[in-house]
Amino acid sequence: MTVTVAIELNRDIEIAGSYDEVFDLLADIPRSVRYFPKVEKLEDLGDNVYRWEMGKVGVDKHSIKTVYACKYFPDRENGKITWEPVEGEGNGVVKGSWTLTAKSDKCTAVKFQTSAELTIPLPGFLKLAISPVIKHEFNGLVDRYMDNLSKAL
């Protein structure tokens, strides 16, 4: 039996760097992933597609390991980097975007939006108990990621 947990995250941050510096950081997936906590492995599958393997989150025997792959689409001219899920890769389906706006020569406003559906091999009755834990963990990881990125440049 499996349970699906849906997660929606939105963040706004400012990064001390020019538009081009920030765009280059976020569009370089291996470089930007260095700032994301609990990534065990990032595998380049070619054609700007990457498989993420995360460290386990959850509680004791009810912890999960998330694996998913995304194809990334950088669009410097429009200030957007989007990612779409690659079907059949792992137990997660993740999509989202970065939207960048230059505030000055040395500061860039960044909007982060992502949604994920994680399929977990657990009995359905545990969904009410484990879903909030997983959402809390992922929110914490993204908050640390945003904090790390804001100090990156």
CATH class of residue range 3-150: alpha beta
Tell me what pLDDT residue 60 has. 66
User: What pLDDT, on the 0 to 100 scale, is given for residue 43?
Assistant: 98
Those residues with Cβ within 8 angstroms of residue 143's Cβ, 6 or more apart along the chain or in another chain: 11
Domain ranges across the chain: 3-150
The two tokens of residue 72 are: 């990334």
Residues 6+ apart with CB under 8 A from 4: 117, 118, 119, 120
pLDDT for res 130: 76
Kind of pairing between the strands at 57-59 and 80-85 = unpaired
- Tell me how far the alpha carbon of residue 52 is from its chain's centroid: 9
User: Quick check: 15 and 147 in contact, CB under 8 A?
Assistant: no
Average pLDDT by stretches of 10, the chain with 153 residues? 90 97 98 96 98 82 84 98 96 97 96 94 72 86 96 90
Neighbours of 66 (CB within 10 A): 24
Q: How much is the pLDDT for 20?
A: 97
Q: Give the pLDDT score at 25.
A: 98
Whole-number pLDDT of residue 149? 95
Q: What is the pLDDT of residue 61?
A: 66
How many whole angstroms separate alpha carbon 69 and alpha carbon 51? 4
The per-residue pLDDT for 98 is 98
Q: Please, what's the b/e burial string for 104-124 (b: 16 or more CB within 10 A of its CB; e: otherwise)?
A: eeeebbbebebebebebebee
Q: N- to C-terminal Cα distance for the chain?
A: 45
pLDDT at residue number 1: 76
Q: Which helix (H) or strand (E) holds 49?
A: strand 49-54
